[in-house]
Amino acid sequence: MARLREFDTEAALDSAMQAFWLRGYEATSLADLMGATGLKKGSIYKAFKDKHSLFMLALRRYLEQSNVCHREHLEAVSSPKEGISQWMHSIIDKRGKEEPRRGCFMLNSLVELAPHDDEVSALLNAHFGYIQTLLSRAIAKGQSLGEFRTDIPAEELSSLAINLLHGIVTRSKGPTPLAELQQQAHTVFKVLV
């Protein structure tokens, strides 16, 4: 008879996500994962197969959690202008106020792994497409309501805004003051109006 798992898989996955987010994939050792999750080596392998599989589960979990925020601000809002502004500032505030500054797990993974890990690259490309679709729809709705400029298509504006926002979030890992990050986000938003 197989033994039942004696730990909370979701909690272990959250703890592993935090370890990978703080250190990156390569710098996170099995000992780090054991310390973060409180699990022994055998339990990690039984539950998650290997380090890469655990990382992919953690990254998917992070993306799913992020999507809650994206949908909350970009879908079903009466004012896309207000929703997008709140979305941008919530992302910057979250990254700029945390200590230690870890940046965005998604962007960290993009830089570290996507150039040579096809599975990470495919997952992140799908995620970026999803976010761009959400933002593009919100901008198009705002254009129809007269909230955003109409001389540039919504798809182009969303791509530009996401790329600029990702640059700001990447800088949030460093010593850039929160007020400066917020001002940069405000400037990106002004491009839309």
Whether residue 9 lies inside any domain: the answer is: no
Q: What percent of the chain has pLDDT over 70?
A: 96
Residue-wise pLDDT tens digits, 61-113: 999 999 999 999 999 788 999 999 999 999 999 988 888 999 999 999 999 99
Q: Of 5-19, 54-68, 118-132, which range is least confident?
A: 5-19
Give the model's pLDDT for residue 39: 94
- Considering its fold, how many domains does the chain have in total? 1
Whether residue 23 lies inside any domain: the answer is: no
Q: What is the pTM of this model?
A: 0.91
Whether residue 149 lies inside any domain: the answer is: yes
Residue-wise pLDDT tens digits, 42-58: 999 999 999 999 999 99
- C-beta separation of 120 from 113 below 8 A: yes
Residue-wise pLDDT tens digits, 140-168: 999 999 999 999 999 999 999 999 999 99
Whether residue 120 lies inside any domain: the answer is: yes
Q: Range of 73's domain?
A: 59-192
> First and final CA of the chain: distance in angstroms?
64
Whether residue 39 lies inside any domain: the answer is: no
Q: What is the mean pLDDT of residues 171-175?
A: 92
Whether residue 64 lies inside any domain: the answer is: yes
Give the model's pLDDT for residue 6: 63
Whether residue 144 lies inside any domain: the answer is: yes
Whether residue 119 lies inside any domain: the answer is: yes
- C-beta separation of 34 from 47 below 8 A: no
At 17, the pLDDT band (50, 70, 90 cuts) reads very high
Q: Which residue has the higher pLDDT, 175 or 3?
A: 175
Give the model's pLDDT for residue 98: 86
Cis, peptide link before residue 100, omega less than 30° from 0 = yes
**How buried is 158 (Cβ within 10 angstroms: 0-12 exposed, 13-18 middle, 19+ buried)?**
buried
CATH of the domain at 96: 1.10.357.10
Examine the pLDDT at 137 and tell me if it is beyond 60: yes
Distance, in Å, from the CA atom of 115 to the CA atom of 110, rounded to the nearest integer, reads: 8
